[in-house]
Amino acid sequence: MSVLPYLVAGWIFLIGCYGLATSRNLIHAVGCLAVCQASTYVLLLAVGYRDGGTAPVFSDLKPGTRPVVDPVVQALTLTDVVVGATVTALLLALVVQVGKRHGTVDPDELSELRG
Amino acid sequence: MSRRARLWVLAVGGLGLAVLLFAASLELPGFGGDWHPYGVRAVEAALARHTSNVVAAVNFDQRAFDTLGEESILFCAALGTVVLLRQTSDEHRVRPEPARVAPPVRRYALVALPVTLLIGLYIVAHGQLSPGGGFQGGVVVATALHLLYIAVDYRALERIRPIGLYAMADAAGEAAYLLLGAAGLIAGTAYLANVLPYGTFNTLASGGTVPLLNAAVGVEVASGVVVLLASFLDQAVEIVDADDPDSSGRNSDQDNSGRPRAPDNSDQPPAPDTSGRTPTPHNPPEEKPT
């Protein structure tokens, strides 16, 4: 079934969205956002895969002897991972401050405005 | 909106999105197919520029400008985290107590530290040849430094981790990337063009500007991760707000969520007078109640 990896990526994205919407804890919500982002890794790498392909690294591989997988999407995934990790750190810093100022990290209890 | 209504909206939206994603995935090129026009061209361009790791060639040569944006996101996120987690006026720092570490843990971590550091530097330096590069190696280097926290204690980590210096190194890495890009302008071509000689294929000095950009990114990522982790660790270990009347309640919250204070509740007989107002930021096994 040649669409299964794409469907897996979609499923990971939807399950992350479900977690985000039903989350009762902001740390958990940040984790769910990371799950959503993980679906893009799966999608990108699935798009770039080639049957029988190996890593696009030619330090021990003679060019042209074997098919290689698409390096462009791999580079995109690397970008994605780095940005995801740093944004997660920034969001967790926000959660730390929310927890300190409001005494709770439940998004449902954070509805009131406070100066 | 009530919880129930929200779930219904989520179900409808999720179902709609699932249908769209399914329809879209049927139109995508089949999994494992042979048609990768960009991939084929990227491999050709990387081999023409003597860079054997094609992913590094894409990141630091063909799409180097995109990586500049990525690096800037990293820089801004580190900056934002430092600003968000800075010590506020109603908080003060408690010097962490020296902690006792089990000898096998100390031995193993002290052996692993230089090895990990070397592996990290190797990964940064060989980014143009083998899988790895500045981003991956930088994280490994930063992790290696934090093995000292496991091996000794937080004070030892602070001694090898002057935050100001690492923050400057973070900025210097970002600046080095920008200036290496400007080298292309000076040479008379485009910004971030690969202007250096390409070197011999599959040697350390191949790939033109790729190893230099990797080194700049390695410096930035390593120091950026150190600064990021320092902000979080300071919050967990050093910064307390004892003057705040509700700090005792918050401290007990932290204990419940597995913060460092948990062990001395379980491993030691309950000492009188240490609960409530006395913040114990670290996990010193032989800590005296103050």
pLDDT band for B265, please (50, 70, 90 cuts): very low
Residue B245 has pLDDT above 70, yes or no: no
Lowest-confidence pick of A50-64, B196-210, B242-256: B242-256
b/e sequence B16-37, b meaning 16+ C-beta within 10 Å:
eeeeebeeebeeeeebeeeebe
What mean pLDDT comes out for the span B202-227? 92
Q: Which residues of chain A register pLDDT less than 50?
A: none
Lowest-confidence pick of A83-92, B159-168, B236-245, B270-279: B270-279
**Mind listing the pLDDT tens digit for each residue in B29-86?**
888 888 899 999 999 999 999 999 999 999 999 999 999 999 999 999 999 999 999 8
As a whole number of Å, the end-to-end CA separation of chain B is 49
**B66 contacts in A (CB within 8 Å)?**
79
Residue B106 has pLDDT above 90, yes or no: yes
Burial level of B273, CB count in 10 A (0-12/13-18/19+)? exposed
pLDDT band for B277, please (50, 70, 90 cuts): very low
Residue B146 has pLDDT above 50, yes or no: yes
Residue B284 has pLDDT above 90, yes or no: no
d(CA B82, CA A96): 12
* B68, A81 contact by CB (below 8 A): no
pLDDT value, residue B219: 95
pLDDT value, residue A1: 59
Across chain B, what does the average pLDDT equal?
A: 83
Residue B259 has pLDDT above 70, yes or no: no
**Mind listing the pLDDT tens digit for each residue in B163-178?**
999 999 999 999 999 9
Higher pLDDT, A63 or B121: B121
pLDDT band for B243, please (50, 70, 90 cuts): low
Query: Is B140 an interface residue toward A (CB < 8 Å)?
Result: no
* B60, B213 contact by CB (below 8 A): yes
- Give B93's DSSP letter: E
> Is 0.90 topped by the overall pTM?
no
Residue B104 has pLDDT above 80, yes or no: yes
Higher pLDDT, B143 or B246: B143
pLDDT value, residue B218: 95
Lowest-confidence pick of A5-19, B173-187, B263-277: B263-277
- Two tokens, residue B67: 């990586």
The answer to whether the Cβ–Cβ distance between A57 and B130 falls below 8 Å is: yes
pLDDT band for B123, please (50, 70, 90 cuts): very high
pLDDT value, residue B204: 86
Q: Which residue of A has its CA nearest to B74?
A: A86
pLDDT value, residue B90: 82
The answer to whether the Cβ–Cβ distance between B228 and A89 falls below 8 Å is: yes
d(CA B14, CA A39): 15
Q: Which residue of A has its CA nearest to B83?
A: A93
Q: Please, which residues 52-71 of chain B have a Cβ atom closer than 8 Å to chain A? A: 52-55, 57-59, 63, 66-67, 70
The answer to whether the Cβ–Cβ distance between A6 and B17 falls below 8 Å is: no
Higher pLDDT, B254 or B229: B229
**DSSP labels for B219-272?**
HHHHHHHHHHHHHHHHHHHTEE-TTSTTHHHHHHHHHHTT-TTHHHHHSSPPPT
pLDDT value, residue B95: 85
The answer to whether the Cβ–Cβ distance between B74 and A86 falls below 8 Å is: yes
**A6 contacts in B (CB within 8 Å)?**
21, 24-25, 28, 31
